[in-house]
Amino acid sequence: MSSISGQNIIMNGRSSRASSCGEIFTWNEISEIHKVRNGIYQRNGKLISLLTDFGKINPCYPDFHGETANTIFYTGAGRRGDQKLDSFNRAMFNAADSAHAVPLFNKLSVGRWEFLGFWRVLEGKYIFDEARQRMVWKFKLERQFKQKNAAGRRSSRKSFQTRGEERNLEIID
């Protein structure tokens, strides 16, 4: 069973240990949280998790970092033609309103996904993508840091259950 509730991620699949940005997961592990192949996973209007490949595998979604690695400009849902304000893109706006952070995973290759930490949607804009000649939603994401770890570095942590054992995902700056 898997679910996300508040600050907890409950997921099956790995032994108990701390995880940090850059850790590699299989699709089977990611799919316990992100139940669909679409980049935006939402339930009843609530954003659950995000996938990206920064346009390297799927060029119709050219996500990119902003001025720092702690900012990402994320392309909304809709592969062809002008993107619409559908349930996926609405969930991104709902996440901006609620200010809750969600896990983001980067596809490196078939079956290999990198955990990029927990990100919050700050805003969304409807812009013209000149390279693809279409209107797209572009959402500004910000990496979330919630606390300082034992070494005094900023970090954010979420817990989940794997085969009855607790495991933590932690972002360390």
The token duo for 49 is: 């998790």
pLDDT higher than 50, residue 29? yes
The residue with tokens 């070494």 is: 151
Structural domain span for residue 37: 3-172
Query: What kind and span of H or E run contains 144?
Result: none
Residues 171 and 89: their CA atoms lie apart, in Å, by 26
Please indicate, yes or no, whether the overall pTM of this predicted structure exceeds 0.85: no
Q: What is the CATH number of the domain that holds 125?
A: 2.30.280.10
Per-residue pLDDT of 45-63, as tens digits, reads 999 999 999 999 988 899 9
Given this model, what pLDDT does residue 13 score? Answer: 47
Given this model, what pLDDT does residue 20 score? Answer: 80
* Choice between 101 and 1, residue whose per-residue pLDDT is larger: 101
Given this model, what pLDDT does residue 60 score? Answer: 86
How high does pLDDT run on average in the chain?
Answer: 82
Closest CA to 154 of 31, 20, 38, 43: 20
The token duo for 109 is: 């290759």
How many domains is the chain built from?
A: 1
